Chains A and B, each alone.
Chain A
Amino acid sequence: SQQGEEDPQALSIQEGENATMNCSYKTSINNLQWYRQNSGRGLVHLILIRSNEREKHSGRLRVTLDTSKKSSSLLITASRAADTASYFCATPNYGGSQGNLIFGKGTKLSVKP
């Protein structure tokens, strides 16, 4: 079953602008992860935020988590053409095996030079 849903489905911006992607989920979680995927290849882990954290930074990435609204956002500041990729949020599947993740459909980000 779908747990995380990203919004928007697609986003096109100019280099240097900021990109914001949102993720909503349905059940209570103890962490949420964001992954990046370039051109249908493997996923690269970006950041993990725990349920007791409200905000986390990693380089040009800022992730927020609002457990009361069951939502998270990923902000990429000063975007570059190399940031062009699909971005997925993932949450743990408590109904299945430990470590199993449930992914949304992703946000496809295009950064134009």
Chain B
Amino acid sequence: ETGVTQSPTHLIKTRGQQVTLRCSSQSGHNTVSWYQQALGQGPQFIFQYYREEENGRGNFPPRFSGLQFPNYSSELNVNALELDDSALYLCASSLGGITDTQYFGPGTRLTVL
């Protein structure tokens, strides 16, 4: 059984640029959720994809967008980067359902200068 993987591990961008983060789900999982974790805070929900469709969104602006592919891997895209976007971005996969355990990847550390 393969765990959740994310790439890249670290990324440095400048304000105004665009970034794409990638996530491979755990084998057999059809739901992917993305979270943003600022330093010293808990993870904040960005959005979730279920079978290639967005299935819910947190309080994030439209410049945060995503995709889920037929193999259930996923991308998080952020346009017009701002300094406050500097954070750890976590991807979690699950079988879906409100009682299901989510399995997290190691995260991508994004720094915006």
Contacts and interface: CB of A to CB of B under 8 A. Distances in A.
A37 to B, nearest CB: 9
Interface residues of B, number: 36
Contacts of A40: 39, 88, 107, 109
Contacts of A113: none
A92 B97 CA distance: 10
A97 B35 CA distance: 13
A106 to B, nearest CB: 6
23 contacts: A31-B98, A40-B88, A40-B107, A41-B107, A42-B106, A42-B107, A44-B104, A45-B102, A45-B104, A48-B101, A92-B98, A93-B45, A97-B50, A97-B55, A97-B57, A98-B55, A98-B98, A99-B96, A101-B33, A101-B45, A101-B102, A103-B44, A105-B42
B90 interface: yes
Interface of B: 4, 6, 31, 33, 35, 39-45, 47-48, 50, 55-58, 88, 90, 92, 94, 96-107, 109
A50 B100 CA distance: 11
B106 A96 contact: no
Interface of A: 4, 30-31, 33, 35, 40-45, 48, 50, 88, 92-94, 96-106
A43 B94 CA distance: 14
Contacts of A105: 40-42
